[in-house]
Amino acid sequence: MRRSFSHSSSVGGLVKNSMQIIRRPIITERASNLQESQNKYVFEVLRGANKVDIQRAVEAMFEVEVVKVNTSTVHGKIKRLGRFQGRRSNWKKAVVTLADGHSIDFFEG
């Protein structure tokens, strides 16, 4: 299967390609439930990317048809180590709905 990573979009004034926009798939119990029941795939994405960027990136990377993208910003948890308090970075989560008959296999390379 030939994959095209050639799609690029301008995020925050910088041109980014698909690989940079889609950071990693989220594979959790909830995510795999969504996958199986509603054909939705969950990713961590670049914080500056918008829904259109994400749709294009996913379509280019996995050669699938995207119907809808929902995004949310996940706030970093506050973590403390002894008397030091820190904060994990916020990140952006995208739930991508694929058209019927399309699927993504995360484990295949």
Partner 1 sequence: MNVQVTESGTWRRTLEIEAPAEDVDKRLNDAYRKYSKTLNLPGFRKGKVPLSVIKRQFGSAIQGEVVQEMVEEFYREASEAEGIQPVSQASIDDINFEEGQPLVFKASVDVRPEITVETYKGLKVTRPVFAVEDEHVDSRLRYMQEESATEQVVERAADLDDVVFADVEELDEDGSPVADHKSEDQSIRLFKTEDDKPTELAEQLMGISAGESREVTITRPVQDEPDQEDHEDRDEEPKEETVMFRVMAKEIRERELPELDDELAQDVGGVETLDELKTQIRNEMATQYDQMIRQRVEENLMDALIEENPFEVPDSMVENYLDGMIESYKREHAGHDHGIDEDAIREEGRDQAERGVKRFLLLDAVADQEDIGVTDDDLDKHLEEMSQRHNIEGPRLRQILGRTEQLGRIESDIKTQKTFDFLIDNADVEDVEEVEGE
Residues that bind partner 1 (CB under 8 A): 26-29, 31-33, 36, 105, 107
| Structural tokens at position 11 | 């995020």
- Residue with Cβ nearer partner 1 (35 or 55): 35
The three-state secondary structure class of 19 is helix
- Residue with Cβ nearer partner 1 (84 or 107): 107
11 Rama class: left (phi>0) / alpha (psi -120 to 50) / beta: beta
Q: How far is the CB of 4 from partner 1 (least distance, A)?
A: 24
Distance CA 67, CA 71 (A): 14
- Residue with Cβ nearer partner 1 (11 or 34): 34
